[in-house]
Amino acid sequence: MRDKIAVLGGGSWGTALAILLCQKGIDVSIWLRDRDQAEAMMKKRENEKYLPGIELPEELCIVSDISEAVKDRSFIVNAVPTQGVRNVLKDLKGKLKSGATIVNVSKGLEINSLLRISEVVESELGDIDYCMLSGPSHAEEVARCIPTTVVVSSRKRETAEAVQDLFMTPRFRVYTNPDLVGVELGGALKNIIALGAGISDGLGYGDNTKAALMSRGFVEMAKLGRMMGASSSTFSGLSGMGDLIVTCTSMHSRNRRAGILIGEGHSRESVREKIGMAVEGIKTTDAAYELAKKYGVEMPITSEIYSVLYEGGKVEDSMERLMMRNKKNEMEELLDSERASWEK
Ligand SMILES: NC(=O)c1ccc[n+]([C@@H]2O[C@H](COP(=O)([O-])OP(=O)(O)OC[C@H]3O[C@@H](n4cnc5c(N)ncnc54)[C@H](O)[C@@H]3O)[C@@H](O)[C@H]2O)c1
Ligand SMILES: O=P(O)(O)OC[C@H](O)CO
């Protein structure tokens, strides 16, 4: 029997993945909360706002009724931006097929609760099969079948492997990783560093600065991750360094573009409006800043981006503070177990 999948969220990523799955011969429905946008997509067979220039397969079923979207579907792909996920899950209660799996592809942390999306799902839907698909994957490139690699993680090996099979194509290679906490955090936290990389570009700084932000950003991502139970090596993989590279360097990245505007002096709110798409790093900075306090982890780049976004701090002052921090031994901040000692 053909797999039946629902994709929730008709932005660029939901649309790109719906196309990929349709091209594999899978029966796919895509749900958009906005009825006008759904109708426009049906009529034009294009997602003009979020993924222009890409033709939607005839077989893709586009709906604005969530019950219709998920009816009899075994896999539910969540591509709704993080802060909207909880409400969508509330709406799903009692509508899901028994044994359905949630495949989350959104990358962020819920503000206030500070929860990862797996935890939000558990708090709303209880013990349901869940996995996170993450990695360096701009929708604009996936929709054009540009070779891409991602990673899927779940607490259950069978779930991760089933989703690996479901998404794998000759142009979309899927790895598995058992470290759900690390995969979720890698996808979420890289957005903060991408904002920083964009700010640096907006200020007119160079490649040296960006390389510094990426490597030091990587260290603080991994430090928080370790404290939250993730494995350090996950951060060296697709959902850590891989995604950090693509997001900090690509002009497809909404987080990087938002950062550029902030570096040029635009306010947080005007940046959101100008980008007109999900910029997950803005709210995730807030959540990560609180998590860093909660776990007692020093995250200087995240703290400075928080200051710029939420406290009216000046980007130039943040840069100076980052450069003038206490002198450090680089290795002290890397893997505790691998710490180099000069004392012996
Ligand atoms: N675009 C990419 O290349 C890409 C790649 C990997 C992961 N992601 C992640 O996927 C998620 C979605 O990103 P996107 O790029 O598709 O965003 P987008 O801005 O292109 O689209 C977001 C879509 O979600 C809808 N939406 C927003 N809030 C909603 C809510 N509360 N309830 C229901 N629908 C809502 C919007 O109307 C829009 O259709 C984000 O977490 C992002 O980090 C994006
Ligand atoms: O456009 P961004 O910055 O949300 O990044 C999209 C993806 O996460 C890249 O892997």
Domain coordinates in residue numbering, the chain? 4-135, 181-338
pLDDT at residue number 330: 87
Quote the CA–CA distance of 122 and 117 in Å, as a whole number: 8
Distance 280 CA to ligand 2 centre (A): 9
- Using the structure block, give the residue that is written with the tokens 């109708």: 39
Q: What is the ipTM of this complex?
A: 0.99
Question: Which residues fall in the annotated binding site for substrate?
Answer: 107, 254-255
Which residue's alpha carbon is at the smallest distance from atom 32 of ligand 1? 84
Q: Which residues are annotated as a binding site for sn-glycerol 3-phosphate?
A: 107, 135, 137, 190, 243, 253-255
With a 6 Å cutoff on the Cβ, whether 105 touches ligand 1 is: yes
Q: Catalytic residue positions?
A: 190
The count of C-alpha atoms lying within 13 angstroms of the C-alpha of 187, restricted to the half-sphere facing its C-beta, is 27
Secondary structure of residue 103 in the 3-state scheme: strand
Digit-coded pLDDT (tens) for 9-44: 999 999 999 999 999 999 999 999 999 999 999 999
pLDDT digits (tens, 9 = 90+) for 91-102: 999 999 999 999
Tokens of 9: 């969220």
Q: What are phi and psi of 30, to 5 degrees?
A: -125, 130
252: exposed, middle or buried (C-beta count within 10 Å: 0-12, 13-18, 19+)?
middle
Is the C-beta atom of 13 inside 6 A of ligand 1? Answer: yes
Question: How far does the centroid of ligand 1 lie from the alpha carbon of residue 30, in Å?
Answer: 13
Q: Give the residues of the chain that fall short of pLDDT 70.
A: 1-2, 333-344
DSSP 8-class letter at 332: G
**Reported CATH class of domain 181-338:** mainly alpha
> What is the 246 CA–ligand 2 centroid distance (Å)?
8
CA distance 333 to 224: 11
**Largest pairwise CA distance in the chain:** 72
Determine which helix (DSSP H) or strand (DSSP E) holds 63, and give its type and residue range.
strand 61-63
CB 108 within 8 A of CB 288: no
* Residue whose CA is at the smallest distance from ligand 1 atom 19: 277
**pTM strictly above 0.95:** yes
Query: Which value, to the nearest 10 degrees, does the dihedral of the CA atoms of residues 78, 79, 80, 81 take?
Result: 120
Class of domain 4-135: alpha beta
